[in-house]
Structure 1
Amino acid sequence: MSATVLHGEDLVLPFLLERASVRGRLVRLFRTADYVLSAHRYPEAVSRHLAELLVLGASFVGALKFEGVFSLQVRGNGPVRLMVVDVTNDGVMRGYASFDRARVEKLAKANAATLFGGGVLVLTVDQRAVGGDLQQGIVRLDGESLSEALLTYFRQSEQIPTAVRTASGRAPLGGRWRAAGILLQAMPGEGARDPAERGEHWRRVVMLLDTVTEEELLDERLAPHDLLFRLFHEEGVRVFDPWRIEPGCSCSEERARDMLLQFPVEEIAGMRRDDGSIEVTCQFCSRSYVFDREAVERILGERRRREEVRG
């Protein structure tokens, strides 16, 4: 093995199982999961599914080369209407969920099917800020977990055999949220020429992946290298340079102001509080931006000028 990884780092760690010619990515999101989930008072079921989506987003983006933002969204018609994870090419990640709290809390069984109802999983790579394109893939949300939906995407769209295990939960001491996972993929054109032999290799490494426990995935004392060696030591594990993940949000006062300017004058005026100010709260990180009476008047003036120009 190679590559230096510090304990407790948030990362995507690519690796290769040389005997089986299977590629994989180990994901650990300790600071990021706690940052995203602690920003809101989500019900437990919503938090766990958003934690899973964070891991799936990181495991997917670890195989991409892009400049911009990768987004993994779940759009449903159930108690959870929207769940989204964004990660930039610099590894800055955020997440958010929109839901009906009363309906979520009434659920007897909170899995992906009951939380989202009929919905879709949307994968987007947005490189328009650097002159690139917007690429998007959509797959129907099937199964009882978000992981099953991602596996369906790889099976239908990429036709790549894929297996994944994820885990999330609060730390026994301190209650911080943690999330982690391992994804395996049998890449086309790699490995044994005999299809039967490739199939045997694939089944063997998937069986090994199935032995990993949630405790192992979430154990901050267990180094990623040691976990991979524990699971796949007979496969010949080659570890590559990690891709660091850090929590963060792209919101700013300027962006909040630009967002207000997208609304008609009447709607902006209707947002004012008794003192004439407007408060804008970021859905992702819960940070608030307050525009006082004078700032709101300037925003209204600019919006009126824009409407006059448009006629």
Structure 2
Amino acid sequence: MTLGSRIAWDDTVLPFQLDRSDIRGRIARLDSVLDRVLEQHDYPPAIEALVAEMTLLTALIGQTIKLRWKLSLQVRGDGPARLIATDYYSPPEEGAPARIRAYASYDDSRPLDGNPFDLIGRGYFAILIDQGKGTTPYQGITPIAGRSLAQCAETYFAQSEQLPTRFALGFGHSSHPGHGGWRGGGVMLQSMPKASPGATPAPEGGEKRLLSAEDFLTGEEEEHWERANILLDTVEDLELVGPRVQPTDLLVRLFHEEGPRVFDAQPVEFGCTCSPAKVRQSLSIYSARDISHMTTEDGIVTADCQFCGAYYEFDPATLGFEAEEAPGDDA
């Protein structure tokens, strides 16, 4: 196998279905996307790990949704890792890549070593879906749960969507000759019940708990789900990350007895939607007096994009709701 064929799956998400188990899934491989996301900032290693994991989750989840515009994932906590945020933008046209961006906010005055997930502390995991103009954005929130961001996402789908879901993720720096840098990969499984599931509510006055797959599956569906999870437990990090094992080969290795069927892969790329016009719009709620407090000694207002690192400078007279006509937004 040539290097070209090994990396042909980089920055793609491959949808598949296990016909004998009524389970759908996705396999993601991220290469330059992770590099672009992480090279924008000099994150400590533990924060890099959280951002890489969240980016993989975003690629996998974004591809499962009939999305017209944007999916956002957010984790907020009271620990040193205060915010991990990602966006997934649907392809503008058929065959075009979806776009992903991500960033983290953290308190560097507190220790940032140890288990990355522990740096989040108590907080919540949120998924936001915005289908664009003329629609009302959807937001689902669940508390931080489990021992990883992947388990937080699994809890979200059980609690908010009543869909048994499982993730297996791997990421790290590649040492492959001529192809170093960040690499990541993951598998997502999701049970698709034939009818809308309904969890049995806890008795009144009883202890409240977060839901899991066991609350929705019984009989044959439960057997299928348990078998698929046992098979996924055998996956190794190097199989997830690649590039030597292609996603189709991994799918056959894991689930050949489940009747795997693949669909067209979706390319993904790093992409940011920031622009001078959007910065002006975000500042349009401020008065001239407010803008004056943002103005530097050099007589300009500056702004940085937290996602891509883009730097903008503005004439304060062109900002806020009392602004003069802007000179143009292509600066």
The answer to whether the superposition gives a TM-score over 0.5 is yes
- 2:316 equivalent among 296, 301, 304: 296
RMSD: 2.3
Q: TM-score, structure 1 length as denominator?
A: 0.87
Give the 3 Å change call, closer, same or farther, for CA 131–104 of structure 1 in structure 2: farther
* Aligned partner letter, 1:44: P
Specify the alignment match of 2:99 in structure 1.
Answer: 92
* Aligned partner letter, 1:151: E
- Deviates further, 211-220 or 251-260: 251-260
- Structure 2 residue matching 1:276: 3-state secondary structure: coil
Higher relative CO (CA 8 A, sep ≥ 6), structure 1 or 2? 1
The question of whether the paired residues in 2 share the 8 Å contact of 1:168 and 1:218 is answered with yes
Deviation sequence 1:220-255 (CA, Å, 0-9, x none): 232211121122122221001122211110001211
Specify the alignment match of 2:266 in structure 1.
Answer: 243
- Deviates further, 118-127 or 19-28: 19-28
CA distance in 2, matches of 1:300, 1:16: 51
CA distance in 1, matches of 2:288, 2:243: 51
Q: List alignment gaps of at least 5 residues for structure 1.
A: 306-311
- Cα distance, 1:177 vs. partner? 1.5
- 2:173 equivalent among 170, 173, 192: 170
- State the percentage of identical aligned residues: 40
Q: List alignment gaps of at least 5 residues for structure 2.
A: 92-97, 196-216, 326-331
Specify the alignment match of 2:77 in structure 1.
Answer: 76
CA distance in 2, matches of 1:130, 1:104: 42
The question of whether the paired residues in 1 share the 8 Å contact of 2:286 and 2:321 is answered with no
- Deviates further, 258-267 or 115-124: 258-267
CA distance in 1, matches of 2:321, 2:130: 32
- Cα distance, 1:160 vs. partner? 2.0
Give the 3 Å change call, closer, same or farther, for CA 278–63 of structure 1 in structure 2: same
CA distance in 1, matches of 2:300, 2:84: 30
Runs of 4+ in 1 over 4 A off after TM superposition: none
- Cα distance, 1:195 vs. partner? 4.1
- Cα distance, 1:5 vs. partner? 11
- 2:237 equivalent among 214, 217, 225: 214
- Cα distance, 1:153 vs. partner? 1.3
Deviation sequence 1:35-86 (CA, Å, 0-9, x none): 1111101111111111111111222122211212111100111111111110
Q: TM-score, structure 2 length as denominator?
A: 0.82
- Structure 1 residue matching 2:227: 3-state secondary structure: helix
CA distance in 1, matches of 2:39, 2:224: 41
The question of whether the paired residues in 2 share the 8 Å contact of 1:9 and 1:28 is answered with yes
The question of whether the paired residues in 2 share the 8 Å contact of 1:5 and 1:242 is answered with no
- Structure 2 residue matching 1:130: 3-state secondary structure: coil
- 1:115 equivalent among 105, 115, 119: 119
- Structure 1 residue matching 2:159: 3-state secondary structure: helix
- Structure 2 residue matching 1:184: 3-state secondary structure: strand
The question of whether the paired residues in 1 share the 8 Å contact of 2:171 and 2:182 is answered with yes
- 2:255 equivalent among 232, 238, 251: 232
- Cα distance, 1:270 vs. partner? 2.4
Query: How many residues are treated as equivalent by the alignment?
Result: 292
- Cα distance, 1:8 vs. partner? 3.9
Give the 3 Å change call, closer, same or farther, for CA 94–131 of structure 1 in structure 2: same
* Aligned partner letter, 1:143: G
CA distance in 2, matches of 1:7, 1:223: 9
